[in-house]
A and B are shown apart, each in its own frame.
Chain A
Amino acid sequence: MIRFENLHKAFGDKQVLAGLTLEVQDGETMVVIGYSGTGKSVALKHIVGLLDPDAGDVLVDGRAVSTLDRDALNALRREIGYVLQFAALFDSLTVAENVALGLRRRGLDDDEIAERVTEALALVDLTGAGERYAAELSGGMRKRVGIARAIALRPRYILYDEPTTGLDPVTSAVIDRLMVRTREHLGVTGVVVTHDMRSAYTVGDRIAMLYEGRIRQVGTVAEVQETDDPVVRQFIEGRPT
């Protein structure tokens, strides 16, 4: 279980998170929606200790992330797959090498690494693309490789940072399907940060809206779709003020 407990984070004078509290249950996919710049990605980075909170903390299976030493933090990171916003692939490596990178860190032997890479690439429909360089891929393919890199680790948790941003509707739907398939195949707990409502409805078990540094509303997809909260309604309907 992932639990944000009264998380505060500011950058300079800008208070980004101001008491974020949210619980993500084992096995569910929680979608965090919100306006650009409201701190969705910032919240996600706290889960893997890429950022330290000013106050509050994130608890993963009861472990307060900000208090972990380097070894414990790396142990935690081995349980989490993280799909970064623009996939963050290493351009000088091939697709297969990108996917294998995290597996090498885990000390697996070459045969097992090759097997897991093949399996992960098949899961994201990129069989045969292993020898291509990351720099040669389209945006959608890069995101799929990013997902393959995360799922090859067979993590307990997967974090997706804006997985469909910048993609055309068809490719976005492919990515959404992949996220659903990943959850079904691996049974992982997921946190998806997005402002793409179609994606949120497709992949989410529950949706939480982050607004002014706190959770404005959290509920099932149906509950959010039927909400009376004017801020949430305006966001999900995409209405200008």
Chain B
Amino acid sequence: MIDRIGRRTVGLIQAVGRWGQFMADMVRALPDVTTWGRLALVQMRRVGVDSLPVALFIAAFTGVVLALQASYTFTGTVPLYFVGTLVGKTMMLELGPVLAGLALAGRVGASMAAELGTMKVTEQVDALETLAYDPQSFLVVPRVLAGTVMFPIVVALAVFVGIMTGWMTSLWLLNLSTPEFVKGLRQFYQFKDTWFGLFKSATFGFTITTVGCVVGLSTRGGAEGVGRSTTRAVVYSAVAILVLDAFWAAVLLR
């Protein structure tokens, strides 16, 4: 029992140490712009543009459901223009960033872990090093940068689409007029709602891509190892998003 606890504690300390080393290596690779600059643009397209369909699809239906649930809850007790308030606030503060983050943890995090894991087990990472490239500059920095920059953009568009579908639902299914919906939307709006959601999204993007890279580059054991890494990246990213979500709410919304 004590032996097991000891081993787990040592394992945890080693994992934290490896994570710290990884972050330090990433910072050290930042000045190598000639290596990661061009690659970052490619990753921005893959992480950002290619993720848009899934993020917007989720946001569109979330907007519809939010409007209908708000109307169901408010009917008879609260003025219905609060549907606009609830759709706007919830999309900006919570569901836009978190749902897009969870969806992209599956899409982006898994694909990065699988790609880098495959490169690791087929010695492509070793090949990079023998060609005098730093894998951090070549593989990690472009991906993490792309995630951190593009996630807020993807989430901003998702929030916009969610609010639009919420508005259309209110208009066509709830008999709410556009001025009423907009009144509710503006009623409790603060600029903080916008930057909080976008800032949170940037931290989600950073976390998902970093986890994908760390897990991918520590892959061992052929195809089975790549499979394990892929699953691990999705699970770790999803957990990290939920923990970060609570953390930022506690730190920034109190």
Contact = CB atoms under 8 A, between A and B. Distances in A.
**Real complex partners, A and B?**
yes
Interface residues of A, number: 24
B133 interface: yes
Contacts, number: 48
B124 interface: yes
Contacts of A84: 123, 126-127, 130
A101 B122 CA distance: 17
B124 A82 contact: no
Contact of B132 (A45, A74, A86, A89): A74
B126 A88 contact: yes
Interface string B113-126: 00000010011101
Interface string B126-168: 1101111110000000000000000000000000000000000
B126 A77 contact: no
Interface string A115-159: 000000000000000000000000000000000010001000000
Contacts of A149: 131
A98 to B, nearest CB: 9
A89 B131 CA distance: 12
Contacts of B129: 48-50, 77
A88 B122 contact: yes
Contacts of B127: 82, 84, 88-90
B131 A102 contact: yes
A75 B132 CA distance: 8
A152 B91 CA distance: 54
A78 B132 CA distance: 6
A102 B132 contact: yes
B130 to A, nearest CB: 4
B130 A80 contact: yes
Contacts of A50: 126, 129-130
Nearest to A77: B132
B186 to A, nearest CB: 47
A94 interface: no
A76 B140 CA distance: 23
A185 interface: no
A85 interface: yes
A89 B124 CA distance: 7
A239 interface: no
B124 A85 contact: no
Interface centre among A70, A86, A89, A105 (most CB of B within 10 A): A105
Given A85-B123, A101-B133, 10 more contacts: A75-B132, A77-B130, A78-B132, A82-B130, A84-B130, A88-B123, A90-B124, A105-B35, A105-B131, A105-B132
29 contacts: A45-B126, A48-B129, A48-B130, A49-B129, A50-B129, A50-B130, A70-B134, A75-B132, A77-B129, A77-B131, A77-B132, A80-B130, A81-B130, A82-B130, A84-B123, A85-B123, A86-B123, A88-B123, A88-B124, A88-B126, A88-B127, A90-B119, A90-B124, A101-B131, A101-B133, A102-B132, A105-B132, A149-B131, A153-B131
Interface of A: 45, 48-50, 70, 74-75, 77-78, 80-82, 84-86, 88-90, 101-102, 105-106, 149, 153
